[in-house]
Amino acid sequence: MYAIIDIETTGGSYKFGKITEISIFIHDGFQVVDEFTTLINPEMNIPMHITNLTGITNEMVKTAPKFYEVAKKIVEITEDKVFVAHNSSFDYGFIKEEFRRLGFIYSKNTLCTVKFSRKIFPNFSSYSLGELCKHMDIVIDGRHRARGDAYATVQLLEILFSRDRKNIGKHLIIRNNLDAQINEHLEKKVIDALPETTGIYFLHGVNGEVHYVGKSVNIHKRVTQHFLNETSLKAQQIIDQTADITYEETGSELVALLKESVEIKKLQPKFNAKQIRNSYKYGIFTSLEIDGIIRIYPKVIKKGEVPFAYFSTEQEAKERLNQLVMKYGLCPAMCGLEKTMTGKACFNFKIHVCKGVCCDQEDISIYNQRVEKALSKINFEEDNFLIVEPGRSEEEKAVVKIENGHFTGLGYINVTYLNDDIDLLKECVNRYDKNKEVNSIVSSYLKKNDIKSVILY
């Protein structure tokens, strides 16, 4: 069963706009079996340009029911129906927001007739409702009014179904209805109770074992996405096998990233297997060649190898190498970034960045000293510092500790002690075992985010 819906609104954003009219046609796959249409008092002004488009005036909606007065009817008539609309994200977004303001979660599986039309009629120049109706000889009785556009969408949907030989429409339905996705082992109230805060979460199997660890800046939203995702075998297995969900709030996204990495290494969850294998596949290595020059180069990490630094991609490794080359005056030819013939000058020598180790213009021992200095700073420019991040409440801060160029731990401290002796900050940190990812996680986070507080010690 399908609920074909169109709405008129006071504007284009559901965050600021309200619904002024709604029309719903219930379709059983063969014909319309029910209908509900009404103006709605948006309890706000309708802008003149909207009135000019729809014809709906402030006077017309003055005595119309408010949304909360028709909310029950909307829930009842659309129950167990697929929500269908032309550009469904617009209509669905507005209706969800109206219900959210009432403290109600409105969740439906959705089908967009724009996307459906693109699949069935791939060569049209426009997929607006007006243009599609022209192509299909559909007469819209009341353009830019909810009932007129909704009924035109009904006729369009019927044509799409009649042309859909490969059952494409079924695969275009987006699963937004969480109730239908939860397995028999898991109660929906467990998901409903998850916080919309930053942290890590643990998906448990029927025997209590943790089979997936994740992190998010919105735990509730991310876990919900797991149960609405049927795009792969792994995603479906997670849906089918999860019997409980626990979580830990962290306040800080950096702390969440670090804790996620530590917990995955410790618990080895089966659905994190790919993450365990492939998170950091590239590294920066060194070798001392017969000419006495220390080479630096990026390559895929083989089993048992321990590089100076870990990276997710070869490009990331090369970008970091290039930064070191420019900062410490290294030779790109000796760092795997440029190919030159033996004894020939690299490009950077010509622009006075490289000092000429590649063409016998610099003492090798002096060059090697700069290489060693660069390697000591490959993860962090400073050896010892604390990163102060948001805590789990307004009364605390998270503290991440870097010591001798390596992540050593994290913890939380009450904000009243932030300006006291730095030893108090260091004492709040709990030590963590090293793993290959943590330095790269912190380094990458520092590059991508505007950190407000870094304290050297």
Residue 244 β-bridge partners = 204
Please state at what angle helix 253-267 crosses helix 438-448, rounded to 10 degrees.
Answer: 160
Residue 57 has pLDDT above 80, yes or no: yes
The overall average pLDDT reported for the chain is: 91
Residue 249 in this model has a pLDDT that exceeds 90: yes
H-run or E-run covering 402:
strand 396-403
Q: In what order do the strands lie in the sheet with 396-403?
A: 429-431, 406-414, 396-403, 385-390, 453-456
Domains of the chain by range and CATH? 2-172 (3.30.420.10), 178-276 (3.40.1440.10), 282-376 (no CATH), 385-456 (no CATH)
DSSP letter at 46 equals P
Res 13: pLDDT: 87
Instruction: Please tell me the predicted confidence (pLDDT) of residue 276.
Output: 64
Cα(78)–Cα(217) distance, rounded to whole angstroms? 32
Mean of the pLDDT values across residues 365-373?
95
Task: Using DSSP, state whether 427 is helix, strand or coil.
Answer: helix
Query: Chain centroid to CA 337: how far?
Result: 32
Residue 209 Cα distances to 166, 168, 187, 194, 242, angstroms:
41, 38, 17, 19, 10
- What CA–CA distance (Å, rounded) separates 96 from 101? 9
User: Which segments within 290-395 are labelled E, that is strand?
Assistant: 294-300, 309-311, 385-390
Ramachandran angles phi, psi of 167, nearest 5°: 60, 40
- Residue 284's nearest CA partner among 309, 319, 312 is 309
DSSP state of 227: H
Nearest to 205 by CA among 265, 262, 260, 269: 269
Give me the torsion for CA of 225, 229, 233, 238, rounded to 10°: 40
Least confident interval from 100-109, 136-145, 222-231, 346-355: 222-231
Give 451's pLDDT tier (boundaries 50, 70, 90).
confident
pTM over 0.75: no
